[in-house]
Structure 1
Amino acid sequence: MPPPAYYGVPATRMTVEGSTFDVRIKDNQAQAIRVNMQYAPRPDRMYPKAALAIEKVSGCRIAKGSLNGDQVIINARLACGGKAPRVPVPVVDQLECEVTDIYENDGLRQVKADVECDAYGKTR
C-alpha cells in the first residue's frame, strides 16, 4: 500500500533482475515499492533495480542525487528534459454494465441495445 502522497495513483508492476516493484508516477516524482519476498536485500542492491524500473515506467531519467529510501520503498525525482513523464494507462480487469434501452426489429431480425458500463481495473 502506498503512502498518503501516492493514494489513488495507479501502480505499474515491473520486475528487474528478480525484484518486483509497484512503480507510481506523480508529477515529477516517482516511487517504487518492492512487492516480492527476498532474503535480506540490501538498499545498495535495490537502488539500481528500482531506478531502472522507475525509468522504464516513466520514460524519464532520475535526477542526480535524488534516489532515496530503503530496501522496500525507493523514491526519486524525475528529470524529463522539459517533457511530462509517461502516465500508465489503466488496464480494465472487469466491467459492470447496465442495459439502458433495447430496440427490437423483428422484420430485420435485429436487436440493438444501449449499454452503460463502469470499468474497474488497475495498471500493469
Structure 2
Amino acid sequence: MTSERVKTTSERLKTTSERVKMTSERVKTTSERVKMTSERVNDLRKSQDDLRKTQDDLRKSQDDLRKSQDDLRKSQDDLEDAQNDLKKTQKWISFRVLMLKKKVNSWIESVSLYEERIKQFLLQ
C-alpha cells in the first residue's frame, strides 16, 4: 500500500508539476499580452496628446484667420474711405478749376476791354 501511495502521490506530483508548467506558460503569455496592451495604451495616450496639440494648433490658426479677416475688413473699409475722400477731393478740385477758369476769363475780358480803351484813347 505504501508503494501504491507513493506511486499515486508521484503521479499527482507529476500532474501538478505539469499544471504548474502550463500555468507558468499561461502567466508568461498573459504577462506578454499585458505588456503589449500597456504599450498600446501608452501609444494611444501619446496619440491623444498629439491630437490635443493638433486641435490647439487648429484653434490658434482659426483665431489667426479670424484676426486676418478682421484686418482685411478694416483695410477694405479704409480703402473705401480713401476712395470716397478722393472722389470728394476730385469734385472740389474740379469746382476750383471751374471757378479759376471763370476768373481767368473775367480777367481776360477785363484786359481786352482795357486794351480797347487804350487803343481808342491812343487813336483820339
Report if TM-score (shorter chain) is over 0.5.
Answer: no
Relative to the length of structure 1, the TM-score reads 0.17
Larger relative strand fraction: 1
**Bigger RCO of structures 1 and 2 (CA < 8 A, at least 6 apart):** 1
Kindly indicate which of the two structures has a greater share of residues assigned to helix. 2
| Structure number, greater radius of gyration | 2
**TM-score, normalising length: structure 2:** 0.17
